[in-house]
Structure 1
Amino acid sequence: MANKFTEDAKSLLSAVGGKENIAAVSHCATRMRFVLNDADLANEKEIESIPSVKGMFTQAGQFQVIIGNEVAQFYNEFSAVSGIEGVSKDAAKVTAKQNMNWLQRAIAVLAEIFSPLIPAIIVGGLILGFRNILEQVPFDALGGQTIVEVSQFWHGVNAFLWLPGEAIFHFLPVGITWSIAKKMGTTQILGIVLGITLVSPQLLNAYGVAGTAAADIPFWDFGFIQINMVGYQAQVIPAMLAGFMLSYLEKFFRKIIPEAISMIFVPFFALIPTILAAHVILGPIGWRIGSVISDAVNAGLTSSVNWLFGAVFGFLYAPLVITGLHHMTNAIDLQLVADIGSTNLWPMIALSNIAQGSAVLAIIFAHRGNKKEEQVSIPAMISCYLGVTEPAMFGINLKYVYPFLAAMIGSAIAGMYVTLMGVTAKTIGVGGLPGIISIKDGYGHFAIAMAMTIVIPFVLTLAFRKFGVLNKMDTVME
């Protein structure tokens, strides 16, 4: 008996160029992921007409077809009708690199390092955002005091929540070095150990270095040389440099050390030199690189032309998501938080999320009654307002183009406003509407900017549609 996806699976197989054009195929929670030998053979119009398909896009060398929550059943039927054995997502990523240039590969590596950390960063952002409300925001109803100043219960909750908050952000180097070891296919526990040596309680906490006189910084004394015992809490680049050195040393020694004794000597010769290099060379260099980057970004956001910086960043953030370059902002945000205690970028990122969702909301309104599209547009809009924009951008906004532009303009105006008003976030975490809990300075101004990113993209999307701005693909429904 034919599966309900049989005909659609056959159509998709034909539309992507047949079995011979598929180098690898896998699936994730909602999408079929193809690595195609020749992407030009994929017939996008034909694919879009398949009933089960809700959208498509190309990213990181993979041609991705949005199916929805039933993608697992579709994938099984596709495998049956095509005779193609699927591969894991990691194997598909490796194969996909044949379609990437050096820059795309570098971006893919950065994405693969931070992607496993995102759930923890989101949770950490929520926790620190909630703590921010408890301990930093005075309420008129409480006589100008904060919640923790008037409630012992919430004072205790606030203190308790610092435990996971510190674990996620102060000990972030542990997650980074583990993630690099995982991505490089080397021993993950060694990555964890390396990370711990960067944030050990034995070391002077990174946050205390600036306030400590040089003569009071502890050190290891080897007689002929002294090495400062400085920690790298919340530092991103030192952890990345150390993590990659560990992985490359482990791979090198596995090649030259006999297998019979490799379990003893490979970890030793990989780990100990890396720890030494991390504290003597890589850590200080990485710290300096990170500081230069954060200082440059902060200088742009606090200069006399900061309004232009904010407008440009707000306008270009969504295109950065398409390329994958937005993963670099995670490192910059975290570096800013580590160096100056807040970030100017995260408020603009959260606003860009909202803007993309508002553009989709306008499409839902304009195309009301299109039940098939609403299966994509409504969940995509909700996802945007909660901080995840890819379904909206690839499923709706880029399909029609003009909603994407409307969202970019709305994001630019809001980005310019929050930059001029000095809005900062205490940390990163959940974007979109919940992003307001992470705001450190300028709650009211951020709320106004949120209203901008709801109204402006919505109005511009409908206006662009009405006056024919970049909307040749739109099927006008009068």
Structure 2
Amino acid sequence: MGKFKEDAQKLLKEVGGKENIAAVSHCATRMRFVLNDPEKADKAAIEKIPAVKGTFTNAGQFQVIIGNEVSTFYNEFSEISGLEGVSKEAGKAAAKQNLNPVQRAISVLAEIFTPLIPALVIGGLILGFRNVLEGIPFGFLDGQKIVEVSTFWNGVNSFLWLIGEAIFQFLPVGITWSITKKMGTTQILGIVLGITLVSPQLLNAYAVAGTPVADIPFWDFGFAQVNMIGYQAQVIPAMLAGFMLAYLEIYFRKVIPQAISMIFVPLFALLPTVLAAHIILGPVGWAIGSWVSDVVNAGLTSTFNWLFGAVFGFMYAPLVITGLHHMTNAIDLQLIADFQSTNLWPMIALSNIAQGSAVLAIVFMHKGNKEEEQVSIPAMISCYLGVTEPAMFGINLKYVYPFIAGMIGSGLAGMFATLFGVRATSIGVGGLPGILSIVPKYYVPFLGAMLIAVVVPLLLTYIFRKKGIFNKIDPVDEATGLLYSQEG
């Protein structure tokens, strides 16, 4: 008998049987099911299966956390069920049957930005390190910055900007490529389109505000003039242009004979898109993006910024559950493009820390529960490094009260950071390392906010559990007064 045969049989039964499975696949740690009727899945029974470390539903997929041996489990599940797996992408496509139009839009947004996350993370780390080199006057250096006293580190700082510029200023190239990848169209055309938005031939987007209107270069077509303006770091213009390119290519593939499609499909898709990008889509997208960033920035710098910060900090974790948090990536990037920094990202990093601290409290209170520690300890570490899903879906939402404690801690930390005007120069680096993204002059208040995000969830998680607040399934042993886990 295979190692997981019995557990696989139980899982097949509790998800509603073979007839309830529209598609099944797996990733690095999870089984991913697209269920015909999600209500037939008995989550409580599934989470009691020894091999299962937790469950959650995301983007229309019912996901079962197995761990590093998921591939072995998956093979035995397939043998027992007689179901052939599908690719992860095919699974996502099938999952759309369980999504409403708003969820589908959010899913598309997530699929565009997810491939860009590795670049955004490394870019954020690099810009954060450059903050230390060129932005902080050190007392032991007589108030000078590192780049002012060291030729070597000045050279390193200058060299690292090569990577930072490639990631953030040329972000539209990544966005247009990601859209063509997601839409199944020609990716090199997406790359070419992105380059036309950030070409050195154009006036850099960062220089537009300081350039008199009369000095802005333009293309003169005789009957019309088009400004030669670049869209460095702009998100919405790139997205609008990327989708136009993809849909034009899909359309022309259908109407142009295959014998000449290699020539005319790229021509008729790319040329009109580039024209539209500089005449209509770019200016409109810039205006929309600027309006959104102005509204968010105004809210976070207004008299009531403390309220805005508290609400956003409190609500960010629930946004992650729904997938709506992917929208904040676009807003953050637009804020950086318009104001050279963002006041939104610091609160996201603080939310990561707060949820991680809630898990840390669970680790201490459930000490000795070896089975749960296989999930809780890695999830806590992941959270402190900026990835919250394992912690929220594996622990905090399971018990509810640590999730709420994390939300409250995040809200208070967000309010504190907002009151002090904390801003970040980049995104992508969350959790404890998120301090590397912070503008150096805000390091001290951000450290204060981090302390709040650690201490408040720790204390509230303990209090909520002991007093039974928001806690229905994780009781205290009344005989001894000790905290214990129902599963321990």
Q: Shift of residue 29 of structure 1?
A: 1.1
**Is structure 2 residue 170 aligned with structure 1 residue 174?**
no
C-alpha separation between the residues in 2 aligned to 1:346 and 1:185?
Answer: 31
SS of the residue 2:175 aligns to: helix
CA distance in 1, matches of 2:141, 2:72: 55
Residue 285 (structure 1) aligned with residue 284 (structure 2): yes
Alignment of 1:473 with 2:473, yes or no, is yes
Tell me if structure 1 keeps the 8 A contact 2:468–2:475: no
Q: CA deviation at 1:70?
A: 1.0
Partner of 1:70: 69
Q: Please tell me the residue identity of whatever aligns with 1:301.
A: L
Partner of 2:464: 464
Q: Deviations over 1:235-262 (max 9, x none)?
A: 0000000000000100111111001100
The letter of the residue matching 1:466 is K
| Cα distance, 1:141 vs structure 2 | 0.9
Which residue number corresponds to residue 411 of structure 1? 410
The one-letter amino acid paired with 1:42 is A
1:454 partnered with 2:454 = yes
Alignment of 1:318-333 (within 5 A): 318-333=317-332
Provide the C-alpha distance between the structure 1 equivalents of 2:43 and 2:228, rounded to a whole number of angstroms. Answer: 57
The 2-side partners of 1:16 and 1:287 are apart by 46
Q: Does residue 1:361 correspond to 2:360, yes or no? A: yes
Q: CA offset at residue 473 of structure 1?
A: 1.6
How far residue 475 of structure 1 moved from its aligned partner, in angstroms, is 5.0
State the one-letter code of the partner of 1:264: I
- Per the alignment, residue 233 of structure 1 pairs with 232
Contact map agreement 2:465 2:475 (CA 8 A) in 1: no
Q: Could you give the per-residue CA deviations for residues 77-105 of structure 1, whole angstroms, max 9, x where no partner exists? A: 11111110000111001100000000000
Give secondary structure in 2 for the equivalent of 1:472.
coil
Distance in 1 (alpha carbons) for counterparts of 2:218 and 2:188? 27
What are the Cα deviations for residues 14-46 of structure 1, in whole angstroms up to 9, with x where unaligned? 110111100001111111100000111111111
Helix, strand or coil: the match of 1:469? coil
1:134-283 aligned within 5 A: 134-283=133-282
Please say if 1:95 is aligned against 2:94.
Answer: yes
Structure 2 counterpart of 1:444? 444
Q: Does 1:348 align with 2:356?
A: no
Cα deviation, residue 425, structure 1: 0.5
Describe the SS at the equivalent of 1:24. Answer: strand
Task: Give the match for residue 398 of structure 1.
Answer: 397
Once residues 223 and 14 of structure 2 are traced to their aligned partners in structure 1, the CA distance between those partners, rounded to angstroms, is 69
Contact (CA 8 Å) 2:332, 2:427: kept in 1 or not?
yes
Partner of 2:47: 48
CA distance in 2: counterparts of 1:438 and 1:101, whole angstroms = 35
CA contact (8 A) 2:25 2:32 kept: yes
Distance 2:98 2:262 in 1: 36
Residue 430 of structure 2 corresponds to 431
Q: Given the two structures, how large is their TM-score scaled by the length of structure 1?
A: 0.99
Point out where structure 2 has 5 or more consecutive residues left out of the alignment: 477-482
Q: Matched residues in 2 for 1:81 and 1:301: separation?
A: 55
Note the alpha carbon deviations across 1:332-370, whole angstroms, 9 max, x for none.
Answer: 000000000110011100000000000000111111100
The one-letter code matched in structure 1 to 2:457 is: P
Residue 350 of structure 2 contacts residue 413 of structure 2 at CA under 8 Å; is this kept in 1? yes
Q: TM-score, normalised by structure 2?
A: 0.97
Give, in whole Å, the separation in 2 of the partners of 1:78 and 1:239. Answer: 43
Letter in 1 for 2:192: V
Residue identity matched to 2:465: R
Shift of residue 6 of structure 1?
A: 1.0
SS in 2 for 1:297: helix
Instruction: State the distance in 2 between where 1:143 and 1:91 align.
Output: 60
Q: Give SS of 2:473's match.
A: coil
Distance 2:473 2:429 in 1: 33
State the partner residue of 2:479: none
Distance 1:61 1:473 in 2: 27
Pairwise CA RMSD: 0.7
Task: Tell me how far 1:429 sits from its aligned partner.
Answer: 1.9
Confirm or deny: 8 A CA contact 2:177 2:190 kept in the other structure. Answer: yes
Secondary structure of the residue that 1:156 maps to in structure 2? helix
Determine helix, strand or coil for the equivalent of 1:442. helix
For 2:146, the aligned partner's letter is I
Q: For 1:374-433, what per-residue CA distance to the aligned partner results, in whole angstroms no more than 9, with x for missing partners?
A: 000000000000000000000000000000000000000000001001111111121000
Spell out structure 1 runs of 4+ moving beyond 3 A. 475-478
Which ranges in structure 1 are unaligned for 5 or more consecutive residues? none
Structure 2 residue identity aligned to 1:56: T
Deviates more, 1:377-386 or 1:133-142: 133-142
Distance between the aligned counterparts of 1:426 and 1:264, measured in 2? 43
Distance 2:296 2:409 in 1: 22
Distance of 1:473 and 1:191 partners within structure 2 = 51
The one-letter code matched in structure 2 to 1:398 is L
1:82 aligns with 2:76: no
- 2:14 is the counterpart of 1:20: no
- Asked whether the equivalents of residues 14 and 46 of structure 2 are also in contact (C-alpha less than 8 Å), the reply is yes
Which range moved further: 196-205 or 70-79? 70-79
